[in-house]
Chain A
Amino acid sequence: MHESLLRDLRAVVGEAGVITQPSARAAYDCDGLTLKRRLPELVLLPRDTDQTARCMRLLYRAGIPLVPRGAGTGLSGGATPVEGGVVLGTARMRRVLEIDSERRLARVQSGVVNADLSRITAAQGLYYAPDPSSQAACTLGGNVAENSGGPHCFRHGNTTRHVLGMVVVTPEGELLDLSDPRPDPWGYDLCGLFVGSEGMFGVATELTLKLTPLPPVTETLLAIFQSLDECCEVVTDIIAARLEPSAIEILDKLTIQAVEASVFAAGYPQDAEAVLLLEVEGHEAQVSETIARVEPILERHRCIELRRARDAAERARLWAGRKGAFGAMGRIAPDLYVADVVAPRTRLREIVRIATDIATERGLAISNVFHAGDGNLHPNISYDRRDAEQVARVLEAGDLIMQACIERGGSLTGEHGVGIEKQKMMARLFSEEDLAAMARVRAALDPKERLNPGKMIPLRACMELRTRPIPAPSPGDLE
């Protein structure tokens, strides 16, 4: 890094906002995808939009690529540093700028932690609905970049349905103010396009987010099964019955055992093959009627026990077990590969079986925890990264699981993003034309590919940017 550039960046963000020491930079060498690491050239921690824009202008002029980073909890390598690049973290952008309870919205800096927003707004009877498992640590800006989900997105939808506006700094360091929370966008839906763009179009520094009223009644049920298949069938039947719980989650036996042996122990029965965690919210009549209709479905599929959380503390414990599941896997092996595939909801059971077979055939320990209501599965493979041969088997299994989902009408990611982890699989899901359209949009917003270069879109699609001439109509086309 050129000394004069470093001096200019220090002048913008101050000494505390620039990390140059290799030992300190090492904390930024990967995100949750720990298989891929690279030491960033520099880490910048601006405090606000203005500092972000000034830093980005300097980096743009110097031709230096930039990787935006929230809390680094992403699992697909979206925040993995790139060669010769700078990491721009939002860790110091943690101010809640406005809570408007009348309009039910919040304006926040993008480094605010997801769970903190709901904590702050609870007194006004409001909360922020998307609740990724990492919500105690992940930032709202990171959620926007990845279009994050969470258990309650079954009812409330992923992050994109909760973003009303944003302030974005473009790759050139210009401000794009999309913060006006209109019911409908004027012109193109740029907010909708930016959400889930994995930091490749701009850096969102301020967000206008929709707040949701806290439900008057919430019931949390834990249904216990001696068969994972039956548990999956319940979900299919609940969807087919067009019932609308707010969350439908499944944990399999290995996950239950890991959770129960950890600090997240929730009282899940360790001899069960699977548990279904179901939450229903709304007014009293809505909740009681929905549960009354779910119960016969559970009975039909041989649910051996149905527990109902008696109070908020018990509900919180049941959810802590679910949300702590990934962390609890550390008891099985030092490392965890978290797949994030999506399957049509009618094929849940089939995909779970296939994923289990793929891992078992390769001698790998697989546990399943998933947002069953959305068809979003997390087959988790525990491994030890010091064993290179085992790592190869894990990656092969991950690819095969993704391929199986694609072949059954599914997709690569439901909430974690593509990043670098699933990049090569993009070419199996999308055609060259599909990817070329994405590359064109990327080129329109970041022509020099300064933001998060080399992510998401496979290299080949970038080379297809040239427009192909349309073949002239054949005589058969003409009357």
Chain B
Amino acid sequence: MNPRELGFPLQAGRPPIARPEDERGIRSVLEHARREHLRVAPIGGGRHLSVCRPDVERGEVDLLLSTAALDRVVEYVPGDGTLTAQAGCSMQALAETVAEGGHALTPRVPNPERASLGGTLGAGRSGLDRVRYGPLRHHVLGMRVMLADGNVARSGGRLVKNVTGFDLHRLYTGSRGTLCVILEASLRLFPLPEAERHLVWKETRLEPQLERAAALADSALEPRVEALLREEGIWELHLGLAGLGVSVAFERDLAVQLAGSPTQELEGEHPELFDIEESGGGTQIESCAPPGELAARTSELDALGAERILILPRAGRLCAWIQEPSPLPPPQIVDLWPRFIPRALPFAWHEALAPRATEVPALAPMLSLQKALDPEGRFASNIFPGRP
């Protein structure tokens, strides 16, 4: 590929990365890709390609398209509690911007200084703070995207309440760069907490921690974070409280009343917990289960050799880390898929799971949507492991 032909710098590597300066540049890249029959994968920070785009590893992508240069905050209206920003803005920069006006941004993603808005939206990633705020997709108010044909299309708006037109931004959120290039998005903001407190209970067994979590869930508590983390044989129940000062004090006392004195208590948020999902490396497997089945599902993950397990009991979400995975996925994974959601999987696992890909519910309408928005398949389209 000749960089001069594109008019923007390319990074060395395979596949090459195009980093256009602006929307016009992105359109030029897509036009070039169309002329040359190249397959393009839009990327954010590029940290989750193994999760979101196994097709890159498979060599099915000719060009990565980065929106990193689109890094402008378009509009922050403190009185409205809304933020509109370009896709290349880092989540850290956006959080700092809105904090000046007394607002907080969700999701609180791991390593926010390296996570871009576009990448976060494309990956559909929610943070541990989903316990309070719900998943990311609930707070995307609108988007501007570029489709494969170069047309720019907007959906939603910059308003906290709006049902005008189809919610295409819901479709694009979590579409992993297979439908469009996200250019700009508007998000709902939340009040920056006045006070924060973090409580940790430690146990060697999961069951008492699940009982604690259930007691807390049945109470008036509205925590920002509630997570169970097992590391080195110890189960830690983390409870992050945030809000008005008197409210946090009340909730702290209520939590102690319900769950006993914590092993550890911190003013402010836990310094490392929010980054936990991206620390430690290894293979990540995600699963979900109702509260009554969390223990059983944890045992299944243990049987796969999980070294670290993170559970969000209220969301019913589990994540396991396996440091030295077998070359091929264990039979349990193949049998139970798609009960387990592959996250950071070795390439060979994706390949082995390929035959099960057609079992994804509602695959046919998803493929129809892909074809409608990208008829030529310009955005190499592998969001399912080994999708045929």
B79 adjacent to chain A (CB < 8 Å): yes
Interface string of A403-435 (1 = CB under 8 A from B): 000000111111111100010001001110111
A183, B288: Cβ atoms closer than 8 Å? yes
Considering the chains assembled together, what is the distance between the CA atoms of A246 and B222 in angstroms? 14
A285 adjacent to chain B (CB < 8 Å): yes
B31, A346: Cβ atoms closer than 8 Å? no
Residue of A whose beta carbon sits closest to that of B166: A438
A186, B170: Cβ atoms closer than 8 Å? no
Residue of A whose beta carbon sits closest to that of B32: A473
B124 adjacent to chain A (CB < 8 Å): yes
B16 adjacent to chain A (CB < 8 Å): no
What range describes how many residues of B lie at the interface? 35 or more
Given contacts A183-B135, A189-B170, A444-B371, contact A434 B153 (CB under 8 A): yes
Q: Which of A84-92, A157-165, A271-279, A383-391 binds B?
A: A157-165
A242 adjacent to chain B (CB < 8 Å): yes
Give the residues in chain A near B250, CB-CB below 8 Å: 283-286
Given contacts A239-B79, A441-B372, A473-B7, contact A183 B317 (CB under 8 A): yes
B25, A193: Cβ atoms closer than 8 Å? no
Give the residues in chain B near A180, CB-CB below 8 Å: 361
**Interface residue from B247, B291, B317 paired with A289 (Cβ < 8 Å):** B247
Considering the chains assembled together, what is the distance between the CA atoms of A192 and B362 in angstroms? 14
- Give the secondary structure class of A's interface: loop
B162, A411: Cβ atoms closer than 8 Å? yes
B166-189 with Cβ < 8 A to chain A = 166-168, 170-171, 173-175, 179
A187, B384: Cβ atoms closer than 8 Å? yes
A463 adjacent to chain B (CB < 8 Å): no
Q: Which of B55-63, B144-152, B226-234, B264-272 binds A?
A: B144-152
Q: B28 to nearest A CB, angstroms? A: 4
A477, B7: Cβ atoms closer than 8 Å? yes
B280 adjacent to chain A (CB < 8 Å): no
Considering the chains assembled together, what is the distance between the CA atoms of A351 and B80 in angstroms? 15
Give the residues in chain B near A158, CB-CB below 8 Å: 161, 163
Considering the chains assembled together, what is the distance between the CA atoms of A180 and B339 in angstroms? 11
A178, B361: Cβ atoms closer than 8 Å? yes
Considering the chains assembled together, what is the distance between the CA atoms of A149 and B160 in angstroms? 12
Give the residues in chain A near B362, CB-CB below 8 Å: 176-178, 187, 190
B19 adjacent to chain A (CB < 8 Å): no
A103, B291: Cβ atoms closer than 8 Å? yes
Q: A425 to nearest B CB, angstroms? A: 9
B365 adjacent to chain A (CB < 8 Å): yes
B292, A102: Cβ atoms closer than 8 Å? yes
Q: A78 to nearest B CB, angstroms? A: 11
A177, B361: Cβ atoms closer than 8 Å? yes
Residue of A whose beta carbon sits closest to that of B338: A186
A90-137 with Cβ < 8 A to chain B = 100, 102-103
Q: Which of A36-44, A52-60, A464-472 binds B?
A: A464-472
B166, A193: Cβ atoms closer than 8 Å? yes
Give the residues in chain B near A195, CB-CB below 8 Å: 167, 170
A479 adjacent to chain B (CB < 8 Å): yes
B124, A184: Cβ atoms closer than 8 Å? yes
Give the residues in chain B near A434, CB-CB below 8 Å: 153-155, 165
Considering the chains assembled together, what is the distance between the CA atoms of A219 and B372 in angstroms? 49
Give the residues in chain A near B162, CB-CB below 8 Å: 342, 411, 413-414
Given contacts A345-B80, A440-B372, contact A193 B317 (CB under 8 A): no
Interface string of A147-167 (1 = CB under 8 A from B): 101000100011011000000
Considering the chains assembled together, what is the distance between the CA atoms of A192 and B121 in angstroms? 14
Q: Which 3 pairs of residues, A with B, have the shortest CB-CB distance?
A: A192-B170, A470-B150, A285-B250
Of the A-B pairs whose beta carbons lie under 8 Å apart in the complex, a sample of 24, sorted by A's number, is A160-B138, A161-B138, A189-B124, A189-B174, A192-B171, A193-B166, A195-B167, A196-B167, A242-B102, A283-B251, A283-B254, A286-B222, A344-B80, A375-B159, A375-B160, A415-B163, A429-B165, A438-B166, A440-B373, A441-B171, A444-B365, A444-B369, A470-B34, A477-B7
